[in-house]
Amino acid sequence: MLTSARLVLKHHRFEVGAAAILGLLAAVAALVVSYRLNAIGVPAGCFEQWLTGGGAEGAGDCAGPVQAFAQINEGEAGKLLAFMAVMPFIVGLLAGVSIVGRELESRTAQLGWALTPSRHRWLARQVGPILLVVIVVVALAAAAASVLEATREPWYHSTYGDLSLHGWPVIGRAVAAFSVGLLVGAVVGRSLPALIVAAVACVVLLLFDGMAQDAWYRANYEVIADPTAVNNGTFDGIYGDTRWRTPDGQSIDQEAAFQQVPSGVDDPNQWLLDHGYTAVALGVPASKAGQLAALDTAGLLGVALVVGLATVPVVDRRRPV
Amino acid sequence: MSEPTPPLRAEGVGRRYRRRGPWALRGVTLEFARGSITALVGPNGAGKSTLIRSWMAFEQPNEGRVLVEGIDPRRDRVGAVSRIGYVPQAAALYRDLSVNDHLGLAHVARPTFDTSYAEERLRSVGVALDRPVGQLSGGEQAQVALALALGTRSPVLLLDEPLASLDPLARREFLAVLVDDVRSTGATALLSSHIVTDVEQACDHLVVLTQGVLAYQAAVSDARATHRTMVVNVDGPPVEGAVGFFLDAEGRRVALVRSTDPTVGRATLEEIVLGYLAAGRDAARESAAA
């Protein structure tokens, strides 16, 4: 078992090595940036002042540390988290595509399939160690990104905007990309074309993931008790929509409410408030972010499982060329 | 008493790669005697690799079936392939892994793989076990591929044009190792090549494929005993028992004839193959013209 894993990793060392370096660099960079943010030592009260004062420049005595914090937060931390959006896909695809794709391309599948009469066993032996490396490396990066996320926005429990950029969803993305790469590599049989096709497939997967997240938000909207928190940026959660309650108690959307306002009125919001309408802000509180992260990860792992299993019959029927 | 199961058998095998495309193999029925070394000869595109790959379950015949020790690879791939030691065309090895790594890989893949036997075979031909395969010569790589096949201790050996890229000395060494192994283990070997002189010294049976069709099959000794060649004129009378016509090195038209006439010179194995290939080519031309 260990011999098999060693040889598989040795054979795929360039792809696995590149993926591991990428993941580990992301992890180390996240911890370094997090350390630098912490090292500024912004007093806790300054963050509230920053939020309510309209930005770092209006933070009074806190201006110096808050500006330094904001600079790193919007610069290095922001870029690093943006990298976390693509890192799991790069790692997963690099590792996944080569497993079958490169074997077919370099004609070594003939040898592998001649020596191992059971292709299922052959596939399991190839996938196991490489997937393990991917999960470990991406988990380290995802955990480090969670540390960074908690450091850069200490006033939130969790922000939905960065939900996919740290923690479990990152692992889900990497494993899904790995499976997509594995399947496409087996179908296409050439590394580079398979990498391109698999990358496109991952973009489609991300679009569907975004749609699923939007549907979850809509299904979980709650009335925000203090609507002013949405405007001053202190609402701990994600703002979704503003609806209006009519004087007779009906709930209508913004567009329908504005149609009630006579033409020529300068401030339609004020007109609605003056005429007995009540604005209702809807959003999802931060306390539910964990639920969405878990669902997102489970969904992506489910996709990874289905796609991974679909690779089995493909390898089974594949002609080594 | 029932007939012993032949180690390799093909029953009316047909294979084409596109639904309405040409047949790569058509109606091939063959079987091989246990312990034999058979040369599977034919020009490029004759269907040699397709036939060998069918036994390996790399190809699925559209017609007929192939059997390995009585097992159809389509129904029991693991059972069939585990009885075969295979040397693929152009030694498909992991270039960045060492020879030792390959032996380790083979042992993981097949726990019955005889590592010490394979090592011994490789040492005997001077292959360094700790070197990456990519740094070995073509001949050494072929020896590694052969050792991997022989180390499986399989009763059937399939070798798909293993000599194509080797120099004459490497060919000799390769065949010597193969023959030595087959004679000592009683395995059955099928060796494909498009040049009969490559394999003539090693093989005791001959199969000629041309245009995807079985043109000839016999023991080498029988083939030599029953074929003669004679130089003929293009506009001369028809030659009785003629198999096919080809040009010799001096540009003369030669007829391969089925005959045991002791007064006529015996055909060499190369001439026998040339005669059958020419017959296949002429038949294909007539068919295309019709």
Residues 96-135 in A contacting B (C-alpha not used; CB under 8 Å): 106-119, 122, 125
**How far are the Cα atoms of A90, B16, B133 from residue A16, in angstroms, in the given order?**
11, 38, 21
3-state helix, strand, coil in chain A (%, to 5): 75, 5, 15
Q: Is A4 on the interface with B (CB under 8 A)?
A: yes
Residues 243-282 in B contacting A (C-alpha not used; CB under 8 Å): none
Residue in B82, B96, B145 nearest the CB of A11:
B96
Query: Would you say the ipTM is above 0.90?
Result: no
Residue in A4, A10, A114 nearest the CB of B108:
A4
Asked if A110's CB is within 8 angstroms of B78's CB, the reply is no
Q: Compute the average pLDDT of residues B7-20.
A: 92
Asked if B88's CB is within 8 angstroms of A107's CB, the reply is yes
pLDDT at B81: 95
| A110, A120, A312, best to mutate vs chain B, most B CBs in 10 Å | A110
B138: left (phi over 0), alpha (psi -120 to 50) or beta: alpha
Tell me the chain A residues in contact with residue B101 when contact means C-beta distances shorter than 8 Å: 7, 10
Return all residues near B236 (Cβ < 8 A) that are at least 6 apart. Answer: none
Bridge-partner residues for B191, per DSSP? B39, B159
Q: Compute the average pLDDT of residues B69-80.
A: 94
pLDDT tens column, A12-58: 999 999 999 999 999 999 999 999 999 988 877 787 777 666 566 55
pLDDT tens column, A126-150: 999 999 999 999 999 999 999 998 8
Instruction: Evaluate whether B208 touches B244 at the Cβ level (below 8 Å).
Output: no
pLDDT tens column, B180-227: 989 999 999 999 988 787 778 889 999 999 989 999 999 999 999 999
Asked if B82's CB is within 8 angstroms of A115's CB, the reply is no
Tell me the chain B residues in contact with residue A109 when contact means C-beta distances shorter than 8 Å: 92
Tell me the chain B residues in contact with residue A98 when contact means C-beta distances shorter than 8 Å: none
Q: Compute the average pLDDT of residues B143-170.
A: 89
**What percent of chain B shows pLDDT beyond 70?**
99
pLDDT tens column, A257-276: 999 899 888 888 889 989 99
Burial letters B200-234, b for 16+ CB under 10 A, else e: bebbbbbbbbbbbbbbbbbebeebbebbbbbebee
pLDDT at B160: 92
Residue in A108, A114, A319 nearest the CB of B94:
A108
pLDDT tens column, A140-188: 999 999 999 888 877 666 667 788 899 999 999 999 999 999 999 999 9
Q: Is A290 on the interface with B (CB under 8 A)?
A: no
Q: Is B115 on the interface with A (CB under 8 A)?
A: no
Q: Is A11 on the interface with B (CB under 8 A)?
A: yes
Q: Mean pLDDT over all residues of chain B?
A: 89
- The conformation of residue B135, written as its DSSP 8-state character, comes to G
Q: Compute the average pLDDT of residues A224-245.
A: 77
In angstroms, the separation between the Cα of residue B147 and the nearest Cα of chain A is 12
Instruction: Evaluate whether B154 touches B187 at the Cβ level (below 8 Å).
Output: yes
Confidence of residue A240 (pLDDT cuts 50, 70, 90): confident
Asked if A107's CB is within 8 angstroms of B92's CB, the reply is yes
Instruction: Evaluate whether A34 touches A149 at the Cβ level (below 8 Å).
Output: no
Q: Is B107 on the interface with A (CB under 8 A)?
A: yes
Global pTM? 0.87
Amino acid of residue A163: L
What distance lies between CA B227 and its chain's CA centroid? 21
Tell me the two tokens of residue B214. Answer: 């079985």
